[in-house]
């Protein structure tokens, strides 16, 4: 492997994950882009990352299954190392707390905190002696319920909240290895899920409630992830950084 560093992005083909994958795409870097289903989206992201000079490896795997985590670990072993792990994969579903079936709750937890722990149990040995970085993408839904209907974020919010606990405990556990562990909690992001004409009024409503007056572009929050996964953020660990344009302040 000729790359100077290897970066894994789980759930790295679309939305915020795509922006993160592309932010790391530069000469001297191998970006391992994990995705679960959308082959076309993954290939588009991989092509653009390659055009930016990165070596790209697509890793199709369900992070909610041990077999999926194992296949991603196999990719990293073939790379010979990993320097940055970005855990962005999550189970996107909507269910109110008392209506959430066990299997839905279990899947959210499996794709979120359980996948991170499975990755690091064996993957930690692939970090170089000089250390590395782990960054998880989080959500403001762990801190507040945006409206009454917003309780249907429950499975994802519970899984992201469990990730926050993992971040703090792992930060202390992995500090002797010089591996930092942090999270980025974002507000609304202008991904494809927010782009429909039917959501125009909703976007305006969110923008009006955000002190900076708009919804974040994916790259803006990807930059925060990049900082925490770089030498510049090397003295930050065990922290949850909120990047929401001030939305949570009001």
157-201 confidence digits (pLDDT tens): 999 999 999 999 999 999 999 999 999 999 888 877 666 656 688
- The CATH code that applies to domain 5-245 is 3.40.50.720
What average pLDDT does this structure show over 224-236?
98
Say what the pLDDT of residue 2 is. 64
Would you give the end-to-end CA distance of the chain in angstroms? 48
pTM assigned to the model: 0.94
Which residues are paired to 123 by β-bridges?
Answer: none
Q: Count the Cβ atoms, other than its own, within 10 Å of residue 145.
A: 14
Helix (H, G, I), strand (E, B) or coil at 99: helix
* Average pLDDT over all residues of the chain: 93
Percentage of residues in the chain having pLDDT higher than 90: 82
């Amino acid at each position: 492997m000729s790359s100077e560093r290897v970066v894994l992005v789980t759930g790295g083909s679309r939305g915020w994950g795509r922006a993160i994958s592309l932010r790391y795409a530069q000469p001297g870097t191998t970006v391992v882009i994990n995705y679960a289903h959308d082959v076309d989206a993954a290939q588009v992201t991989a092509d653009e990352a390659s055009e930016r000079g990165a070596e790209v490896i697509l890793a199709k795997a369900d992070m909610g299954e041990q077999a999926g985590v194992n296949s991603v670990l196999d990719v990293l072993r073939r790379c010979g190392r990993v320097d940055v792990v970005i855990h962005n994969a999550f189970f996107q579903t909507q269910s109110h707390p008392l209506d959430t079936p066990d299997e839905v709750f279990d899947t959210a937890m499996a794709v979120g905190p359980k996948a991170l722990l499975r990755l690091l149990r064996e993957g930690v040995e692939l970090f170089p002696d000089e250390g590395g970085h782990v960054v998880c993408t989080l959500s403001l839904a762990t801190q507040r319920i945006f409206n009454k209907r917003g309780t249907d974020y429950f499975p994802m919010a519970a899984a992201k909240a469990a990730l926050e606990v993992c971040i703090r405990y792992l930060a202390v556990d992995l500090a002797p290895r010089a591996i930092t562990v942090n999270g980025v909690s974002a507000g609304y992001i202008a991904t494809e899920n927010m782009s429909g004409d039917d959501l125009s009024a909703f976007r305006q409503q969110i923008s009006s409630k955000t002190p900076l007056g708009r919804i974040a572009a994916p790259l803006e929050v990807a930059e925060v992830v990049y900082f925490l996964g770089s030498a510049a953020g090397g003295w930050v660990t065990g922290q949850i950084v909120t990047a929401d344009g001030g939305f949570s302040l009001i």
